[in-house]
Structure 1
Amino acid sequence: MARDGIASIGECMLELSGRTGADWRMGFAGDTLNTLWALRALSGPEREASYVSAFGDDPFSKEQIAFFQANGIGIGESPIIAGARPGLYAITLTGAERSFTYWRGDSAARQLASDPGRLSKSLENQSLVYFSGITLAILEPAARKTLIDAVDRARKAGSLVAFDPNYRPRLWASTDAARAAIDEAASIVDIALPTFPDEQSLYGDATPEDTASRLAAVGVKEIVVKNGELPALVCNDGAVESVPAVHVAEPVDTTGAGDSFNGSYLAARLAGSPPVEAARTAHAVAAAVVQVRGALAPFETLRAAFRPS
């Protein structure tokens, strides 16, 4: 079977974004969905895209799935769980900086590894499998092990595996639990896309170079350490280069910028761009994303900024 698909694993939530007064806009988002959204926009039509999760049978879950389908995204063999429902978060902005309030304790996505056979089936014959530290954090330890085993099998069968540690302290019982799970995940990935402030918070890294060295020591060959408006550090098989970000004088909304960087970086790599050029392209896309509201920028916005080489 052809190996040309893309699978992203995680939690899609209902997103409420504030406008003015009591008016709110509802959409769909989540870190691994945001990354897949950019991948879907920037990859060729021959690449099937799947969002691997678990969904409820409520009207909002049905709307999520219909929204995916309308934008060329399937759900693989993801289970539909009777009585379950999606998580919810609300974004509030101070200038362009965002803060979040979450309601996700009984999210259907917490059961994404409840059927190991269906999970493994969703990851078969994929060019790329992507997941994050948030994917790990929403799962109980046994389910987390099921997920890591399924990803490892996909990698051994030939899939490229990419991972963003995306550390969110509130989702973890302790820093020790987070470190243990993220370290185990890092040992089975080909491309790591960490964000330096997250790594500094969790591991005490003093510099992006420290982050890259730590990940390289567990066997990750390709590492891109993001650092907001500061340069990204690109490390590939021992070669290290700093790639400046694209400055945006007046960003509108920074929601999803790092996820869009990840998606455009991976799309460029799948298109054949070398890592440093892929990072330059990803910075350009992220700069375009912060100039629109919401986590999911229009496909046209993403494509206009995407210039792989």
Structure 2
Amino acid sequence: MVVMKSQNENKIVLLGEPLLELTPISGQSYNMGVAGDVLNVAVVVSHLYGEAHLLAALGLDSGSDKILQFARDHDVNTEAVVIDHAHKAGMYFINNDALGERTFTYKRDNSAAKHFFGDSDQLLTALNKLEAVSHIYFSGITLALMTEASRTAFVAWLDNFRRSGGLVVFDNNYRPALWPSADAYLKACEWVLSRTDIFLPSLDDVMLSLGLVDKPAAMAWIVARDVPEVVVSDGVQPLTLMVNGTTELIDVIAANQVADTTGAGDGFNGGYLAARLSGASAQDAVKCGMQLAADVVGHKGAILPEEYWAKV
């Protein structure tokens, strides 16, 4: 893979919740790692592009310290991370079946990030401190951490950000357990998609949120959102790239082995964004993203190990 580190003419800030990740070893024993959908993307962008800024909230607990150190070890910039003295880092447990598919159990309802993203004043204060930002990235999980009031404030901030020339990147990442209803999730998506410049949806998540079993109908919904640049993932089926009204199908790069599907979409998003930030075409960015996704599923956990990055 070609490393696409550039002169960093673009600055990307990624909004989301880093989490402690507990992966089963044997019986009731777990290995404690660090992940979270947006952090997963930030790590890839940092390694390939050379710079990624994380906007999140953590506590003063040992778990939060572990997350901060992990991010810094991967050269993710944590200057925008807010420290909450009253709350701790969230966590989740992974269980994998024989085919590598995973299920999650979360403990994040009282996390520092949940309180931060749900507080309009705290969120806007942190956003308004950002300087010289070209791209903002967040996911459906980020939106789920917000209250309706803080989402409204965030959307208003996005309007100002785009008027100043900034680009908005959104991954739909739908987790039903985080929302009171699919309608609430779709309403939030509609708010941000009308302000999105690059949309990176999973077709499965679109179908699940809309209650559809028909892929063409789900694709029609995506097209109707009228986002200038869209990459639709569909498992091992070809990706659909849509740029300014032009549609192209691109075959997926197959993984050599599947150990764990956790973080595959995040790996793709990170590779795609690193390439685009570096000035690559959307087509070349898709290939970079697919290679990252193929490599991620060959390893346990959502983030590739240090020895992988040492070879890149």
Identify the residue that residue 262 of structure 1 maps to in structure 2: 269
The CA deviation at 1:185 is: 1.0
More off after superposition, 201-210 vs 125-134: 201-210
Match of 1:108 in 2: 112
User: Which ranges of structure 2 fall in alignment gaps of 5 or more residues?
Assistant: 1-7
> Any unmatched runs of 5+ in structure 1?
none
Instruction: State the distance in 1 between where 2:159 and 2:34 align.
Output: 28
In structure 2, the CA distance between the partners of 1:260 and 1:101, relative to structure 1 (3 Å rule), is: same
1:71–1:116 CA distance, 2 compared to 1 (3 A): same
Q: Supply the distance in 2 between the matched residues of 1:303 and 1:216 (Cα, whole angstroms).
A: 39
Q: Does 1:279 align with 2:283?
A: no
- Classify the secondary structure of the residue corresponding to 2:134: strand
1:2-81 equivalent positions in 2, closer than 5 A: 4-44=10-50, 47=51, 49-81=52-84
CA–CA distance in 1 between the matches of 2:176 and 2:202?
A: 14
Contact in 2 for aligned 1:13/1:28 (Cα 8 Å) = yes
Q: CA deviation at 1:216?
A: 4.0
* Alignment check: 8 A CA contact 1:288 1:301 kept: no
TM-score, normalised relative to structure 2: 0.89
Check if 1:200 corresponds to 2:207.
yes
- Find the counterpart in structure 2 of residue 230 from structure 1: 237
For 2:149, give the aligned amino acid. A
Contact map agreement 1:252 1:293 (CA 8 A) in 2: yes
- Number of positions where the alignment pairs a residue of Structure 1 with one of Structure 2: 301
Matched residue, 1:191? 198
Q: How does 1:211-222 map to 2 (within 5 A)?
A: 211-222=218-229
Contact 1:265 1:279 in 2 (8 A): yes
TM-score (structure 1 length as normaliser): 0.90
Are the structure 2 counterparts of residues 66 and 28 from structure 1 closer, same or farther at C-alpha, using a change threshold of 3 Å?
Answer: same
Partner AA of 1:87 in structure 2: G
Question: Would you say the 8 A contact 2:203–2:219 is kept in 1?
Answer: no
* Contact 1:78/1:118 (8 A) holds in 2: no
Distance in structure 2 (CA, Å) of the matches to 1:121 and 1:20? 46
Aligned to 1:138: 145
Which residue of 1 is the match for residue 246 of structure 2?
239
Q: 1:289 to 1:180 in 2, by over 3 A?
A: same
User: Are the counterparts in 1 of residues 47 and 75 from structure 2 also a CA contact under 8 Å?
Assistant: no
Quick one: percent identity of the two aligned structures? 36
**Cα 1:209/1:304, change in 2 over 3 Å:** farther
The change in CA–CA distance for 1:70 and 1:280 in structure 2 (over 3 A counts) is closer
Question: Shift of residue 147 of structure 1?
Answer: 2.4
